[in-house]
Amino acid sequence: MLDKEIIAKNISELRKKRGLTLKEVGDKVGVAASTIQRYERAKIVDVKKPVLDSIAHALGASPRDIYEDGPELISNAIPADMSQMMRIPVVGRVAAGLACHAEENIEDYAYCSKDIIISGETYVYLRVVGDSMSPRLMEGDLVLVRCQNMVDSGDYAVVLIDNEDGVVKKLYFGKNYIELISENPYYPPRRFEDSEMERIRIYGKVIESRRRF
């Protein structure tokens, strides 16, 4: 159980040691200054660990320095520069009828570099489930998806089949067919021909993947 009082004291002390304002920390984390203030006053009802991790990162500290009593700031630590990073929601599933940013489907947030983001487009991170795309993509990996309903042949994309949850596949388009390819040879290609092509809905193009160890 996270102790809100300890967290509040640690964030406040670390921020002041760094000479940062509430707004400066909030900008680095991607939240309002008032949110940081509520954390410092132990007024947050639902303490979110991903936000605490981001606050620690912005303050040049480790998460343990936030959670545990008596933080020790590394003498030569430099607060993270988040100005070139974009905060992207992480979804555990892509389901028919859910928008890219459906609140009930967001389980976390992650950051990616702004240089791969196209202004005006919508992005999510999707957590990979299953082994059909291994070894290229493993269960638990995050894939950055640009929400769009068209991709080129040979692209990796998130697709929905018969309005079921979205899956990551490599797509090939023929004159009268769409073929979904898995990286794992255990899973054979799936071809949808003619009217069957209507069973496929493209949710977005996979831009990059990341893996935690």
- Rg of the chain over Cα atoms, rounded to whole angstroms, equals 21
Please answer whether residues 135 and 149 qualify as being in contact, where contact means their C-beta atoms are separated by less than 8 angstroms.
Answer: no
Of 139, 144, 114, residue with least CA distance to 126: 144
The pLDDT assigned to 69 comes to: 61
All domains in the chain, ordered by first residue: 4-67 (1.10.260.40), 85-210 (2.10.109.10)
For residues 70 and 137, give the distance between their C-alpha atoms in angstroms, rounded to a whole number.
Answer: 40
Instruction: Say which range, 23-37, 38-52, 92-106, 131-145, has the weakest mean pLDDT.
Output: 92-106
Which parts of the chain are beta strand (E)? Answer: 85-91, 106-113, 123-127, 142-147, 156-161, 167-173, 177-181, 190-193, 200-210
- Residue 16, pLDDT > 90, answer no
Tell me what the pLDDT averaged over the chain comes to: 84
Is the model more confident about 76 or about 17?
Answer: 17
Pairing of strands 142-147, 190-193: unpaired
pLDDT of residue 76: 58
Residue 48 confidence (pLDDT): 76
Q: Which residues pair with 124 in a beta bridge?
A: 145
Query: Could you read off the pLDDT of 165-190 as tens digits, one per residue?
Result: 888 999 999 999 999 999 999 999 99
Residue 200's pLDDT is 94
Q: Which residues are catalytic?
A: 132, 169
pLDDT band of residue 93 (cuts 50, 70, 90) is confident
Question: Residue 179 burial (CB < 10 Å; 0-12/13-18/19+)?
Answer: middle
What pLDDT is recorded for position 71?
Answer: 45
Which is more confident, 98 or 133? 133
Reported as a single tens digit per residue, the pLDDT across 46-85 is 777 788 888 888 888 877 788 876 444 455 556 556 667 7
Q: Which two tokens stand for residue 58?
A: 């912005």
> Of the given ranges (43-52, 95-104, 202-211), which has the lowest mean pLDDT?
95-104
On the question of pLDDT at 191 being above 60, the answer is yes
| Beta-bridge mates of residue 108 | 90
